[in-house]
Structure 1
Amino acid sequence: MAQERLMSKKKPAYPVSEKLDAYLEKYNRNIEIPIFYEDLLRFAGSVVVYDDNGEDTLWVRVYYSDAERQEIDQSLKSVYSILHSDGSDRIFQYLNIDAVDYCTFGNSKPFRIKVRNILNDNFLYFYVKKTDASRIYGLELEHILSPYHLNFLVHEDTLIEEHIAGIPGDVFIKEMLPDCTESEKAQLAKEFVKFNERCMIRLLGDMRSYNYVIVPMHDFDHVIYKIRAIDFDQQSYEGKLKVYRPQFFKENYTMVEMVQNKLLPDSVDQYKIEERSAVAKRIISSGERINRLVNICKEDNISLPENIELLGKQIYDLTHDMKFKNCKTMGQLLYLALDFVKRNYQDVSMKQILDKKLGIKRGKQ
Structure 2
Amino acid sequence: MSERLMSKKKPAFPVNKKLDAYLEHYSRKIEIPIFYEDLLRFSGSIVVYDSNDEDTLWVRVYYSEFDRVEIDISLKKVYSILHSDGSDSIFPFLNVDAVDYCTFGNSKPFRIKVRNILNDNFTYFYVKRTDASRIYGLELEHMLSPYNLNFLVYGDTLIEEHIAGIPGDVFIKEFLPKCNESEKSQLAKEFVKFNERCMIRLLGDMRSYNYVIVPTHDFDHVVYKIRAIDFDQQCYEGKLKVYRPQFFKENYEMVMLVKEKLQRNSVDQYKIEERSIVAKRILSSGNRIKRLISIVKMDKISNEQNIAALALHIQDLTGDIDFKTCKTMGEVLALALDFVKRNYQDVSMKQIIENRINI
Aligned: 1:118 with 2:120 = no
Distance 1:262 1:235 in 2: 30
Counterpart residue number, 2:49 = 50
Q: What secondary structure sits across from 1:214 in the alignment?
A: strand
Counterpart residue number, 2:252 = 253
Size of the aligned set, in residue pairs, is: 359
Q: Name the TM-score, length of structure 2 as normaliser.
A: 1.00
Distance 1:261 1:25 in 2: 48
- Residue 3 of structure 1, CA deviation: 2.4
Aligned: 1:167 with 2:166 = yes
Deviations 1:297-340 (A, max 9, x none): 00000001000000000000100100112100010010000000
Deviations 1:140-199 (A, max 9, x none): 000000000000000000000000000000000000000000000000000000000000
Alignment of 1:252-331 (within 5 A): 252-331=251-330
Q: What secondary structure sits across from 2:205 in the alignment?
A: coil
Kept after mapping to 1: 8 A contact 2:95/2:115? yes
Q: Which amino acid aligns with 1:59?
A: W
Q: What secondary structure sits across from 1:147 in the alignment?
A: coil
Counterpart residue number, 2:21 = 22
Counterpart residue number, 2:31 = 32
Q: What secondary structure sits across from 1:286 in the alignment?
A: helix
- Residue 5 of structure 1, CA deviation: 1.6
Alignment of 1:1-150 (within 5 A): 2-150=1-149
Distance 2:206 2:2 in 1: 12
Counterpart residue number, 1:363 = none
Distance 2:3 2:304 in 1: 20
Counterpart residue number, 1:238 = 237
Distance 1:88 1:274 in 2: 43
Distance 1:325 1:226 in 2: 36
Distance 2:258 2:245 in 1: 13
Distance 1:90 1:3 in 2: 48
Q: What secondary structure sits across from 2:124 in the alignment?
A: strand
Deviations 1:197-236 (A, max 9, x none): 0000000000000000000011011000000000000000
Distance 1:333 1:217 in 2: 36
Distance 1:286 1:346 in 2: 15
Q: What secondary structure sits across from 2:111 in the alignment?
A: strand
Q: What secondary structure sits across from 2:112 in the alignment?
A: strand
Q: What secondary structure sits across from 2:297 in the alignment?
A: helix
- Residue 41 of structure 1, CA deviation: 0.2
Aligned: 1:219 with 2:221 = no
Q: What secondary structure sits across from 1:106 in the alignment?
A: coil
Kept after mapping to 1: 8 A contact 2:126/2:159? yes
RMSD of the alignment, in Å? 0.4
Q: Which amino acid aligns with 1:16?
A: V
Deviations 1:117-149 (A, max 9, x none): 000000000000000000000000000000000
- Residue 358 of structure 1, CA deviation: 1.2
Distance 1:27 1:42 in 2: 32
Runs of 4+ in 1 over 3 A off after TM superposition: none
Aligned: 1:178 with 2:177 = yes
Distance 2:340 2:231 in 1: 21
Q: Which amino acid aligns with 1:6?
A: L
Distance 1:304 1:153 in 2: 27
Q: Name the TM-score, length of structure 1 as normaliser.
A: 0.98
Q: What secondary structure sits across from 1:29 in the alignment?
A: coil
Q: What secondary structure sits across from 1:299 in the alignment?
A: coil
Q: What secondary structure sits across from 1:287 in the alignment?
A: helix
Distance 2:110 2:150 in 1: 17
Kept after mapping to 1: 8 A contact 2:2/2:247? no
Counterpart residue number, 2:333 = 334
Aligned: 1:199 with 2:198 = yes
Distance 2:30 2:300 in 1: 24
Distance 1:325 1:257 in 2: 35
Q: What secondary structure sits across from 2:4 in the alignment?
A: helix
- Residue 249 of structure 1, CA deviation: 0.2
